[in-house]
Structure 1
Amino acid sequence: MEELKKFIFKIYPMNNSDWDFFSSKLQQVTLKKHTNLIKIGETENYLSFISEGIIRFYIPFEEHDLTFGFLFKNEFVTAYDSFISQNPSQYQIETLTTTTLWRISFTDLQEVYNKTESGNYIGRIMAENMFLIKSKREISLLNQSAEERYLNLFEERPKLLKQIPLKYIASYIGVTPQALSRIRKRIT
């Protein structure tokens, strides 16, 4: 839980009573590799902090999945649109490795927002950061070639390329595994 406390205190240092209240609502869970956090049609009930592990966001299709996001240690994970609307998710989230999470339920988070000084501020900053990440991804898909997206990924998140199967990386940048192989040959 210490990593989570450090992460939150970088955004805004909570007073002791706020931290105690917030942390009392957290639950630690450890999940095996390839465990679904949420499936299509389920409603997201948790906001989770990744203490250990790697997570993938995707839409499953018969021939191949469409991967559109990865998260790592010291990042938050949730099907955020489902979480805030309390409507069913249109995508799935799964662990790619054994993963340990600290999570808080939707109901408990609302209570934190209502009963603490800093909860709303921290929640707003985190929501703004999620929006910026999503916007950057959408713009890259519209304005960059697959090769540019791959190079940016390599520059921004080099550990991603070492820890994630290439078929998921290919899907993430919007190409087939064969096209990714050609890109990789061309740039090395």
Structure 2
Amino acid sequence: MNEIRNFIQNITPINDSDWQFFSSKLQEVELKKHSILLKLGAVENHLSFITKGIVRFHVPGEEVDLTFGFLFENEFVTGYDSFLTQTPSEYQIETLTDTILWKISHKDLKEVYEKTSVGNIMGRKMAENMFLIKSKRELSLLSKTAEERYLDLFSYRPKLLQQIPLKYIASYIGVTPQALSRIRRRIT
């Protein structure tokens, strides 16, 4: 749980009583590789912090899934649009590795917002961070080549990328697995 407190401390200072209240709402969950965190059509009811593992966001397809995001250790994960609106998700979130999460429910997070001095600041700053990640991804798809998107992803978390199947990386950067193989050959 120290990872979560350190993460929050980097966003905004949190006093001991606010931390005690917030941390009392957290539940630790251990998941195996390829576990579904959020199923297509389900309503997201949790915000989770990843202390170990990798997750991916994808739209399931009949032949191929469309991967549009990865999250790693020391990051929050949620189907944020579904979480905010409490409506069914249009995508899935699954673990790519064995994963450990600390989860807080939608109801409990609202209570943290109402009863702590830093809850709203934490929520706003995390929402801003998610917006920046999404904007960066969209701009990357519009303005960079597939090779540049691959290099960006590879420079972001090179060791963790070794744990992500190439078919998911190819889908994420918007190319076929064969095109990704050609990109990788050109780079090395």
Q: TM-score range by the shorter chain?
A: over 0.9
In structure 1, the partner of 2:152 is: 152
Equivalent-residue separation in structure 2 for 1:171 and 1:66 (angstroms): 6
Letter in 2 for 1:63: E
Structure 1: 5+ residue stretches without partners: none
What's the CA shift string for 1:22-57, capped at 9, x where partnerless?
A: 011110110111000011110000000001111010
Q: Please give the secondary structure, in 1, of the residue aligned with 2:41.
A: coil
Please report the TM-score for the alignment, with normalisation by the length of structure 1.
0.98
Q: Please give the secondary structure, in 2, of the residue aligned with 1:28.
A: strand
Cα offset, 1:156, TM superposition: 2.2
Cα offset, 1:111, TM superposition: 0.4
Cα offset, 1:91, TM superposition: 0.2
What's the CA shift string for 1:70-129, capped at 9, x where partnerless?
A: 111110000000001111100000001111100100000000000110000011001000
Letter in 2 for 1:104: I
Equivalent-residue separation in structure 1 for 2:129 and 2:109 (angstroms): 18
Cα offset, 1:16, TM superposition: 1.2
Question: Aligned runs of 1:107-118 on 2, under 5 Å?
Answer: 107-118=107-118
Equivalent-residue separation in structure 1 for 2:10 and 2:147 (angstroms): 34
Cα offset, 1:161, TM superposition: 2.5
In structure 1, the partner of 2:86 is: 86
In structure 2, the partner of 1:162 is: 162
Equivalent-residue separation in structure 2 for 1:159 and 1:85 (angstroms): 35
Equivalent-residue separation in structure 1 for 2:156 and 2:3 (angstroms): 22
Structure 2: 5+ residue stretches without partners: none
In structure 1, the partner of 2:67 is: 67
Equivalent-residue separation in structure 2 for 1:156 and 1:25 (angstroms): 31
Moved over 6 A (4+): none
Cα offset, 1:172, TM superposition: 0.5
In structure 2, the partner of 1:187 is: 187
In structure 1, the partner of 2:52 is: 52
| Identical amino acids, percent of aligned pairs | 72
Equivalent-residue separation in structure 2 for 1:67 and 1:172 (angstroms): 5
In structure 2, the partner of 1:120 is: 120
Equivalent-residue separation in structure 2 for 1:28 and 1:6 (angstroms): 17
Q: Please give the secondary structure, in 2, of the residue aligned with 1:138.
A: helix
